[in-house]
Amino acid sequence: MKLTPRTVDGIARIGARQWAGLDTRDNPFLAWPFLHSLEASGSVAADNGWQPHHLCLYENDELVAAAPAYIKSHSRGEFVFDWAWADAYHRSGLEYYPKLLSAVPWTPVSGPRLLVAKDHPEPEGLRKALIDFALSRCEALGLSSWHCNFIHETDLEAFGESSLLARRDCQFHWHNRGYGVFDDFLATLKSKKRKNIRQERRNVAEAGIRFERRRGREFTPEDIAFIHLCYRRTFHAHGNHPALGLDCFRMLAETIPESMLAVIAYLGETALAMSLYFSGGGTLYGRYWGTLQDVPGLHFETAYYQGIEYCIEHGLERFESGAQGEHKIARGFEPVKTRSFHYIAHEGFRAAIAHYLEREAEWLDDYHGEIARHEPFHLTSRG
């Protein structure tokens, strides 16, 4: 297997046809149109700290492996937090930035990061070659580190045989266990949890709020503008910068309409709130939520219960509603471990961070044990 490694400074230069030959496990955030929309709209660019530096391997001029990668000048939009590492570097008189990151920008969703050609006879060899290529880029460019965030289990073997540092975290996902209707799901919950959810849904209904669901192909220009307005309001309310521009939302609706779902809440004929979802590979992903008016229970209904209902109605296996959120446990979401791997070039810091990660893993195990005490399901409900 003779491979030619190349870095590419924009996914448009790779091309949609060649990218489609890679196994993305039908993850919508790894589709060429999604990544291209981020770059073409300026939401991901060198001047905002996301310089595309995609790692590609070619065999006879055919793309056989790739890792979406970016040279970062900050750690925003990653959701695997290394701010303390950067601060320690700075206090020691060293430069942590720039660094190399393999991830989907602004998207805390697990998926393959070492993409290989479908049906290639040596997939593990390609994945290991991508890891070696990433490390060589760090050395050639003098980068402090390489971070590969939210990896899929398909990448575990290659990373497990590397010298990179492993890190775990926790998200909360909902799992469809063959429910026919929403009440079937509720029946698996303990009585108090079930009553609380019914009360939250009743509060929204009694406020006169109704919901409409639309796939991306059904979005009107007004829908897209409203979705973006709600998205911006949520980010501003939490003191964060809304990185995705209106043009990005427009491009996504045009290029991956079947992957997009909006749930819009109306009071009378006035749009009040929305949640934007993506779907693919049997999973629904909740990405953005926003409202123009606070109504008790509206967030849970729009961002969680509408998503659960959609999964049940369409036979989707899993619902990932985003990062963090212990409050999701009481609403039927379960803890799931996420994984990332990290290369630290500086030997001293590599040892220190490895020690930190060992202690962090112990804390995470304790955290999972504590979560188990708040199990919302009947002991026999999941079989």
Tens digits of residue pLDDT in 18-76: 999 999 999 999 999 999 999 999 999 999 999 999 999 999 999 999 999 999 999 99
Same domain, 129 and 265: no
What are the structure tokens assigned to 353, written together?
């961070």
What are the structure tokens assigned to 57, written together?
């391997």
Kindly state whether residue 246 falls inside one of the protein's structural domains. yes
Kindly state whether residue 126 falls inside one of the protein's structural domains. yes
Residue 227 CA: distances (Å) to CA of 37, 157, 178, 277? 17, 40, 31, 11
Residues in CB range of 262: below 8 A, 6 or more apart: 213, 214, 216, 219, 223, 227, 274, 275, 276, 277
CA distance 75 to 379: 41
CA distance 372 to 138: 40
Kindly state whether residue 380 falls inside one of the protein's structural domains. no
Per-residue pLDDT, 382:
55
CATH of the domain at 278: 3.40.630.30
CA distance 149 to 288: 20
Kindly state whether residue 243 falls inside one of the protein's structural domains. yes
Report which residue type is found at 111.
G
Same domain, 211 and 240: yes
Same domain, 13 and 142: yes
Residues 321, 326, 328: CA angle, nearest 5 degrees = 45
Q: Are strands 70-72 and 50-52 parallel, antiparallel or unpaired?
A: antiparallel
Kindly state whether residue 331 falls inside one of the protein's structural domains. no
Same domain, 191 and 307: yes
Other Cβ atoms closer than 10 A to 364: 17
Kindly state whether residue 53 falls inside one of the protein's structural domains. yes
Report which residue type is found at 193.
K
CA distance 102 to 69: 4
Same domain, 293 and 352: no
Q: Which residue has the tokens 């036979």?
A: 315
pLDDT along the chain (383 residues), means of 10: 95 96 98 98 97 97 97 97 97 98 97 97 98 98 98 96 96 97 97 97 97 98 98 93 96 98 97 98 98 96 98 98 87 95 98 97 89 76 52
Per-residue pLDDT, 378:
77
Report which residue type is found at 176.
N
CA distance 271 to 230: 10
Same domain, 208 and 307: yes
Same domain, 143 and 242: no
Same domain, 56 and 132: yes
Per-residue pLDDT, 310:
98
Please count the structural domains in the chain: 2
CA distance 281 to 299: 26
CA distance 79 to 327: 18
CA distance 46 to 50: 5
Per-residue pLDDT, 380:
55
Kindly state whether residue 163 falls inside one of the protein's structural domains. yes
Per-residue pLDDT, 151:
97
Kindly state whether residue 164 falls inside one of the protein's structural domains. yes
Same domain, 215 and 274: yes
Per-residue pLDDT, 381:
54
CA distance 67 to 149: 11
Per-residue pLDDT, 374:
77
Residue 83 CA: distances (Å) to CA of 89, 107, 149, 232, 297? 10, 18, 15, 24, 34
Same domain, 355 and 304: no
> Which residues pair with residue 337 across a beta bridge?
170
What are the structure tokens assigned to 103, written together?
């991830």
> Which residues pair with residue 167 across a beta bridge?
340
Same domain, 43 and 72: yes
Same domain, 96 and 140: yes
Domain of residue 155 covers 4-169+336-371
CA distance 293 to 276: 17
